């Protein structure tokens, strides 16, 4: 039975049960494990230590052997003893065997090859490449976290790939990203930002420009392939890929494109029979791809579009201000001539003169188009690209993001806020449809 908590409440959890918590929007809560052991999405909680969970968060504290958990503050919370966790951890055990096999095989390849010879990258021993798929609110991100967390607890550094542009769990929404996970993901702080490879798609809706989305997925996969070829440890640990909840029509095509681009060999399907059978049909002639159907947890909470919008704002705010307002973003301004802003898509594909008579030029969705700086850019989130030339902007990764706070047309100056001081690392900026108002 759900209870509304406003003060301190203790919950005794039996083995293999979980406490499902929804923090209210009014304030954060403090939570600690009083005795026993418990984890949040694969990350073990430190005993006797108060952790703060911010307003709006929804999560489960799971225990394998039993625990007592105390919550201070206002939250909806209830205990559930029916969870799919055992099936999830069984998947982890199989992935673990594959990682060990890849590591052992890599070790014997290096000892048997002459030192001057490199094994063909495609033939090198390879750990599991897992892709988690399912409709919206099926628990994909949570399962991804668990699999990464359990692997990291066994000293692997698996690569987390996030293709879900709606949430932006690595940096901000509207991005695709990959990062090695060296330790279980902190349930409060999230993913550390040290070495992520981030690409800016610029929209939270994949249908805004599916061609550019595909181009970015391909490029991210290509970059990881290069990294894996040079790093046997990362290759053996493999990757866990989180996807978006769009699984019908073009969404399904994009899923297939993701699976093929990353050469995924384990597809975990959460909570939808139809998607499972469509994938099984697609891959029945392809040996070496395992498709596994898993139950969705009864704890997964459906989130409205308003809630998602709110969480996106929280995520963007966190990027600039830190989780608990502990970062001081840096306000600065530049002359219009100091920066060049572009967007992807638009503009004619070919000049009318080059087209057959009567044909209308269509917009090229992957074309890099210059943007004239105007009031239209006010409140935009812009990516600072690593591209050396504008024509590389489509597939270059990004250094970070700024948001535009003022456009002074008379003085031709653009004011912005960046997460750190100092000049921008590049003057090539990329705009999408992402806006943010403090």
Ligand X SMILES: Nc1ncnc2c1ncn2[C@@H]1O[C@H](COP(=O)(O)OP(=O)(O)OP(=O)(O)O)[C@@H](O)[C@H]1O
Q: Which residues are annotated as a binding site for ATP?
A: 18, 58, 137-142
3-state secondary structure 100-162: HHHHHHHHHHHHHCCCCCCCCHHHCCCCCEEEEECCCCCCHHHHHHHHHHHHHHCCCCCEEEE
Token output for 24: 């209210």
Q: Which residues are annotated as a binding site?
A: 18, 58, 137-142
Q: Does 380 participate in binding ligand X (rule CB under 6 A)?
A: no
- Considering only 299, 345, 365, 400, the residue that binds ligand X (CB under 6 A) is 299
Query: Which of positions 234-263 make contact with ligand X (CB under 6 A)?
Result: 244-245
- Considering only 5, 11, 13, 20, the residue that binds ligand X (CB under 6 A) is 20
Q: Does 297 participate in binding ligand X (rule CB under 6 A)?
A: yes
Stretch that binds ligand X, among 58-66, 116-124, 172-180, 427-435 (CB under 6 A): 58-66
Residue nearest ligand X by beta-carbon distance: 299
Beta pairing class for 29-36 and 380-385: unpaired
- Considering only 42, 127, 128, 139, the residue that binds ligand X (CB under 6 A) is 139
What is the number of other CB atoms lying within 10 angstroms of the CB of residue 209?
23
- Considering only 43, 159, 167, 261, the residue that binds ligand X (CB under 6 A) is 167
- Considering only 32, 54, 74, 136, the residue that binds ligand X (CB under 6 A) is 136
Token output for 322: 């830190």
Q: Does 19 participate in binding ligand X (rule CB under 6 A)?
A: no
Per-residue binding letters, 196-235, with ligand X (x by CB under 6 A): ----------------------------------------
- The CA-based diameter of the chain, rounded to the nearest angstrom, is 78
- Residue 105 Cα distances to 126, 224, 252, 352, angstroms: 9, 20, 35, 57
Shortest Å, Cβ 132 to ligand X: 8
Cα–Cα distance for residue pair 183/218, rounded to 1 Å = 27
3-state secondary structure 365-382: CCCEEEECCCHHHCCEEE
Q: Does 38 participate in binding ligand X (rule CB under 6 A)?
A: no
Considering the complex, state which of residue 141 and residue 209 has its C-beta at the smaller distance from ligand X. Answer: 141
- Considering only 140, 203, 214, 367, the residue that binds ligand X (CB under 6 A) is 140
Cα–Cα distance for residue pair 181/169, rounded to 1 Å = 13
3-state secondary structure of 172: coil
- Considering only 39, 162, 164, 265, the residue that binds ligand X (CB under 6 A) is 164
Judged by the rule CB under 6 A, the positions of this chain that interact with ligand X are: 18, 20, 58-60, 134, 136-142, 164, 166-167, 244-245, 297, 299-301
């Amino acid at each position: 039975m759900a209870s509304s908590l406003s003060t301190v409440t203790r919950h005794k959890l039996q083995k293999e049960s979980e406490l499902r918590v929804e923090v209210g929007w009014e304030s954060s809560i403090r939570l600690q494990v009083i005795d026993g052991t418990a984890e949040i999405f694969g990350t073990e909680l430190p005993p006797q230590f108060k952790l703060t969970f911010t307003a709006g968060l929804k999560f489960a504290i799971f225990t394998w052997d039993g625990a007592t958990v105390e919550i201070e503050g206002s939250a909806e919370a209830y205990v559930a003893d029916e969870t799919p966790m055992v099936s999830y951890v069984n998947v982890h055990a199989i992935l673990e065997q594959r990682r060990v096999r890849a590591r052992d095989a890599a070790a014997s390849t290096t000892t048997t090859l002459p030192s001057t010879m490199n094994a063909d990258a495609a033939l090198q021993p390879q750990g599991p490449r897992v892709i988690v798929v399912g409709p919206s609110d099926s628990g994909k991100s949570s399962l991804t976290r668990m699999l990464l967390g359990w692997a990291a607890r066994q000293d692997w550094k698996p690569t987390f790939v996030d293709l879900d542009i709606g949430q932006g769990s690595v940096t901000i929404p509207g991005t695709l990203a990959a990062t090695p996970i060296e330790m279980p993901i902190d349930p409060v702080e999230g993913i550390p930002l040290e070495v992520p490879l981030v690409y800016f798609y610029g929209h939270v809706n994949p249908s805004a420009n599916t061609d550019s989305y595909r181009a970015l997925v391909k490029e991210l996969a290509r970059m990881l392939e290069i990294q894996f070829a040079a790093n046997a440890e990362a290759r053996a640990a493999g990757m866990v890929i989180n996807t978006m909840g769009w699984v019908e029509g073009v969404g399904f095509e994009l899923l297939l494109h993701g699976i093929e681009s990353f050469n995924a060999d384990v597809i975990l399907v959460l909570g939808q029979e139809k998607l499972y059978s469509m994938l099984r049909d697609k891959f029945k002639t392809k040996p070496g791809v395992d498709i596994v159907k898993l139950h969705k947890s009864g704890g997964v909470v459906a989130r409205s579009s308003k809630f998602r919008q709110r969480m996106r704002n929280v995520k963007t705010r966190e990027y600039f201000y830190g989780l608990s307002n502990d970062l001081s973003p840096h306000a600065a301004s530049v002359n219009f001539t100091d920066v060049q802003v572009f967007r992807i898509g638009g503009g004619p594909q070919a000049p009318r003169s080059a087209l057959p008579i009567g044909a209308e030029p269509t917009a090229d969705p992957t074309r890099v188009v210059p943007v004239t700086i105007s009031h239209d850019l006010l409140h935009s989130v812009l990516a600072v690209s690593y591209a050396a030339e504008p024509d590389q902007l489509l597939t270059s990764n990004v250094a970070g993001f700024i948001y535009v706070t003022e456009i002074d047309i008379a003085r031709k100056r653009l004011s912005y806020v960046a997460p750190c001081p100092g000049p921008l690392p590049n003057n090539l900026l990329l705009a999408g449809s992402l806006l943010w108002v403090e």
